[in-house]
Structure 1
Amino acid sequence: MKNQVKPASAKVVQFAEITKSLIRKGNIPRAKKCLEVAERLLTTGNAETKNLIVNIYIFSVSTFMELRKCNIADMFPQSLRKEYIAQINTSGV
């Protein structure tokens, strides 16, 4: 059986789902670790990685956190928070 390679976008979707699952379960320390990894990918990744983190990961996780009334400002590291704020300002919310 051949190993199937997932596209990068599918991996980012899965990473966002893992983060949301940890938040749902109340495992905030592990969720913060995921956010730190996303922060590192955003600050050190190539253009494609940065684009995926901004457009898939931040959007998915921040929407979930808002629906759950989590304090995003306390959980998001600096660069993720900056991108989140840019998304909010762009959407006109």
Structure 2
Amino acid sequence: MKNQVTSIYKQAERFAEITKKSIICGNIVRAKKCLALAERLFITGSIETKNAISNVYVFSVSSFMEMRHCNISHLFPQTLKAEYIKQVNTSGV
């Protein structure tokens, strides 16, 4: 299969790309649905899933939004927003 994804981290990366493309196209409803699904996976997933969502998905999407000066506060669900804030505070930015 051409589009076969092998690891949870690659899946999170691909999911982040889908979310970013939705934002670029102005499909905010779809982007919010993606973010809500990511939050559900973060809350209910295994340790590996939580790490992938935090380290790959949240980092990728939030970096993308910051580079384009998007306001993340109204898009990110509560848990992912808290994870984003934790990452920013940890990085010392």
Question: What TM-score, normalized to structure 2?
Answer: 0.94
After the TM superposition, list the runs of 4 or more consecutive aligned residues in structure 1 that deviate by more than 3 angstroms. Answer: none
In structure 1, distance between residues paired with 2:62 and 2:23: 11
3-state DSSP class of the match of 1:75?
coil
Superposition deviation, residue 70 in structure 1: 1.0
**C-alpha spacing 1:87/1:5, structure 2 compared with 1 (3 Å):** closer
Equivalent positions of 1:60-71 (< 5 A) are 60-71=60-71
Larger radius of gyration: 1
Rounded Cα–Cα distance in structure 1 between residues aligned with 2:64 and 2:78 = 19
Q: Partners in 1 of 2:21 and 2:5 — Cα distance?
A: 23
Q: Name the counterpart of 1:55.
A: 55
Question: 5+ residue gaps in structure 1?
Answer: none
- How big is the shift at 1:7? 1.2
State the distance in 1 between where 2:64 and 2:5 align: 27
In structure 2, the partner of 1:77 is 77
For the residues of structure 2 that align with 1:10 and 1:59, how far apart are their CA atoms? 14
Question: If each structure's helix is expressed as a fraction of its own residues, which one has the higher value?
Answer: 1
Contact conserved, 2:12 with 2:56, CA < 8 A, in 1?
Answer: yes
Aligned residues: 92
Per-residue deviation, 1:5: 5.3
Rounded Cα–Cα distance in structure 1 between residues aligned with 2:92 and 2:14: 28
What is the percentage of aligned positions where both structures have the same residue?
Answer: 62
Contact 2:5/2:11 (8 A) holds in 1: no
Give the superposed CA RMSD: 1.5
Q: Distance in 2 between matches of 1:5 and 1:64?
A: 22
Q: Which amino acid aligns with 2:77?
A: P
